[in-house]
Structure 1
């Protein structure tokens, strides 16, 4: 762990009528830097990073200005009424080693809307760590599901097999969901009786900024935190969908990669869409040589299958970032390798994509040029090695994809052999 620095005051400020309600996520009031999500009647309005004086100024502006917190899905018939809200399961994958696991599970169980079940998928059941971490959590909605084959995608898929909800929401064992997180994720689904929305994503903010590595991660962009409602679709949205938000801007490699759509730590997927597009790709994600990309691959497949994805800025998760430079470097390298592995998969499935990608090289190069926000971040002390790690990961992506596919095939063959041997006894 790197040496600590003065922790930021991370908070959520809710404006309700003439009153203000503040919830501290981490840090203390009076810290030199505060990061506050400002909400009006539960709708995200502004993200303020600065001093307490900056926050006070933003709050005065919100109180006197014309804040736009309208949500298109709240204006559409039949509207998000209780009769149309889909049933929901929540899946958290873990190896049991994260010291936040119990808090993460308790935050999900404390949601302000009904949920069918919370499935904690144990990706290292032999250790017994998950059971020990959750032994004090007593709730009939909680189940621990064993997934002994390593890999985040395998764990996610095990959760999908067990989930009974019409919508399956995902978060992580190192993240704390807001009390209204699930309700906000379900709102767009509830306003879509035709069932055109395949996924809904939210925003992910830092749960703690107390170490340089955590600040560097945020400085380079962090997780998606767009405060405007967006609609992502590969075909022209019908009027009802179009009213839910502005068209999503996908970045230089969209829709082959979908990093701006959302992240696996804060997403909800329609079960019917999953039955159409299939499970998470077990050659992608943490615990495989590719080290990432399984959530972005799922978003891309949902879009290609004709579904829409809606981003709501009101579904909030606070994530604890890596606290040391080595851990952050490994994560950033995994981002690069996961992205390149996903692109490799896409090209192998349809070689014509390669021509399209070649046209996009200049835009990608601009993002990685010296001095760009992606390279330097907003802070002057962001290590240049982080970008080198991302580039190195990207360059190795095609090779680790091949290795991951070979490993996935080997696991599948071993499983089939075991079934055949079991059937002959």
Structure 2
């Protein structure tokens, strides 16, 4: 591996450097090209993603003293994995990529540049400015001059409101994809999702998701997040559906196992940092729920709610391991605590909303209580993490958030109703 600088470089800033920090890199097996996202060979650990011809082959977590890329290549199985879709099938699909931001994250220019560097030809990038008064978004993106890039304003605070503004701006596209201002998408990220849509039986697949790996593991909080599960980043294609699907659709991946809360909760289906919806699914979805998501009292859950609603509308969702995103996790423990609290509030709000709309599923949920308790009992990797130094405050914060999620959702609904009344006057 050469000594080329990492993509994130000095954007790391002042963080508490973790003695268990990791080099994070992507290597292309056929060309031996290495992209270093963060860290270097002097780090005691490494996370190496191995790809070839636009496909994800393997992901390794390694320990040692250098030679990480060579170790990963030696351990990667030979051959190219089978996919149930045709590579290149979506090359003519017109798509929009929406990035919602308040302009506070210095990573925004890198995130937008990564989207603009997609190998797909027919797409636009819509950046939704959720704090237009500050002017921060336009200042950060002032150096980007690309005809495919549009910045639109959404003064109403909240991620769901911003996502809905992006949907409105992208109404002419066949597929609308979403990523975040703290994520770096792989050059084949968009084309990989569009190939799935184009290869699926007409009208059957409503959404496609992909893995979100860590882009940076230099601070303890970033390692803690991964240790407690992180975002979905499996290496096999998966098909999610709550209704019977055709044999052609089933060939796109293995049937998903959503855990004891599925389909009321869809955390294993994907995450908002890497998701795309067909126009037909968006017509069924209509909007993201503005009572959920960052910026609302509930703090999260709008992406998982969208997945559940799309499936209830009769669509399947396909997870493809080839549509790769690398996400910069919270760099400090205080930020991770806030995020974990929001994970709890968002999950409780999502479950409560689901039961309000589908009360008959309460019986199913009650039957699954033993499995739910087994998953969240103290000491499990899900709650305590897979490493020995994960602070217990994170599991406490998540439980605390879960306990107040329902009243926060009711508060959010009340605020939204009042805002709707005010906007009609």
TM-score by length of 1: 0.93
Corresponding position of 2:385: 377
SS for the counterpart of 1:90 is strand
1:337 to 342, 345, 351: 345
1:68-147 alignment, distance < 5 Å: 69-74=81-86, 80-81=88-89, 85-147=92-154
TM-superposed CA distance for 1:326, in Å, is 1.1
When structure 1 is superposed on structure 2, of 185-194 and 389-398 the one drifting more is 185-194
TM-superposed CA distance for 1:113, in Å, is 0.9
d(CA) in 2 for partners of 1:5, 1:277: 42
SS for the counterpart of 2:74 is helix
Corresponding position of 1:5: 18
TM-superposed CA distance for 1:54, in Å, is 6.2
SS for the counterpart of 2:155 is coil
Deviations 1:132-187, CA, capped at 9 Å, x for gaps: 11111101111111000011000000000010210000000011111111111111
Deviations 1:358-407, CA, capped at 9 Å, x for gaps: 11211111112122111221110001111111111111111000000001
Deviations 1:13-68, CA, capped at 9 Å, x for gaps: 1111xx42211111112321110111233211111011345653442233xx4445
Moved over 6 A (4+): none
Matched, 1:260 2:268: yes
d(CA) in 2 for partners of 1:232, 1:315: 16
When structure 1 is superposed on structure 2, of 37-46 and 236-245 the one drifting more is 37-46
Corresponding position of 1:218: 226
When structure 1 is superposed on structure 2, of 368-377 and 312-321 the one drifting more is 368-377
TM-score by length of 2: 0.93
Gaps of 5+ in 1: 418-425
d(CA) in 1 for partners of 2:300, 2:351: 12
TM-superposed CA distance for 1:411, in Å, is 1.1
Deviations 1:60-83, CA, capped at 9 Å, x for gaps: 233xx4445111112xxxx7436x
SS for the counterpart of 1:378 is coil
1:245 to 234, 241, 253: 253
1:282-293 alignment, distance < 5 Å: 282-293=290-301
Deviations 1:261-285, CA, capped at 9 Å, x for gaps: 0000001111221111221000000
TM-superposed CA distance for 1:311, in Å, is 0.4
1:364-403 alignment, distance < 5 Å: 364-403=372-411
d(CA) in 2 for partners of 1:81, 1:234: 26
Q: What is the CA RMSD across the aligned residues, in angstroms?
A: 1.5
